Amino acid sequence: MSANSFGSRFVITSFGESHGEALGVVIDGCPAGVKFNEHVLKNNLKRRRPGGEGVSQRQEEDLPEILSGVFEGKTLGTPIAIIVRNKDQKSQDYDQIKKAARPGHADDVWKDKFGHRDHRGGGRSSGRETVARVIAGSMAQMFCQQVVPDLDLKAYAHQVGPYCLSDGERAEIWTKDIEQFTARFPSVQHEKVKELLTSAQALGESFGGTAEVRVKGLPAGLGQPVFHKLKGDLAQGFMTIGATSGVELGDGYKAAGAQGTSFHRVPDSPNYGGIRGGISTGEELLMRIHFKPTSSILEVAKKGRHDPCIVTRAIPVVEAMTWLVLADHLLWRRQDQV
């Protein structure tokens, strides 16, 4: 199986299976001299970890082991290899799906395509694969924020099942600590979301949701027309996350029913989401990522350890993919002009 790499300049290759010995990533293209911030890496991995209310009860430490590319607190410019070891696999929980595919999951299509697969926890199609993305995204974050110190990024749950943030709650998002809210849903309704997800776990039910990511301090001029528009690379990155069902930029789907005279009011309209012509404008970037309900439901969900709503734990992954694309385009920008 090929196609395990992402990026054009800041290139990552992820490896490992959900119940294998370890998962990890090789990062090629990170410049030398980037200050390594252990807290950023460990904190992002901690936020992605399973365990806790309303998420999978698999308990993993996810302690990173740096094998190469970092020395005396800085990147060397050589390939960076980092792994985390699996500790809490319960492969017997998945014996049922070895022969019977889960509706909506990748079990049968992977088996049909490759002829042989690791069914334990979904193998490489498991959400656990995203640990490699979060490692790589953390290194990309270190690079981006060293090059552009004012760059800031925030992702959060915009919708969980039937509950959605109000316009007022979205307007205050930069003042909120997302981690203090159930399901990373920064709303007065977050306790209702907690009840919803707790009940879903007990019943073997699941819900869809939407993540929103916003970036401020983004330099103008990032993006490579025609085939590597900034919005195109971001959309590709988000669509590679398991269970993603759609991506929007700015006003997104609402733009399809808009009138041009009202939609194109001013050059820096928030309708555009901070990108025009595939190039960043310098305004705040806004994208929305939709996720379908978790595929593991009913008895499979009750016996295994699954997330009743993927968006909750997808937030650090959405952030990671954003950092990776921004790192790629910051490096790409270096060759745009003499």
What is the CATH classification number for the domain harbouring 262? 3.60.150.10
Q: How far apart are CA 182 and CA 167, in angstroms?
A: 19
Is residue 63 domain-resident? yes
Tokens of 35: 């200050």
Tokens of 96: 């049922």
Is residue 11 domain-resident? yes
Is residue 287 domain-resident? yes
First to last CA, the chain: 39
* Cα pseudo-dihedral 80, 84, 85, 86, rounded to 10: -140
| Structural domain span for residue 137 | 5-333
Burial state string for 262-286 with b = 16 or more CB within 10 A and e = fewer than 16 = eeeeeeebebbbbbbebbbbebbbb
- The total number of structural domains in the chain stands at 1
CB 309 within 8 A of CB 253: no
Which pLDDT score is estimated for 54? 47
Which pLDDT score is estimated for 321? 98
Which pLDDT score is estimated for 1? 61
Q: How far apart are CA 1 and CA 129, in angstroms?
A: 15
Mean pLDDT for back-to-back runs of 10 residues, the chain (338 residues): 90 90 96 98 92 54 95 98 82 59 72 73 75 97 98 98 96 96 96 93 90 97 96 98 95 93 80 95 97 76 71 96 98 92
Is residue 60 domain-resident? yes
Contacts of 240 (CB under 8 A, 6+ apart): 6, 321
* pLDDT tens per residue, range 27-76: 999 999 999 999 999 999 999 986 555 455 555 689 999 999 999 999 99
Summary count for the chain: helices (H), strands (E): 9, 14
CA nearest to 119, candidates 152, 149, 92:
92
Is residue 338 domain-resident? no
CA nearest to 185, candidates 207, 152, 215, 202:
207
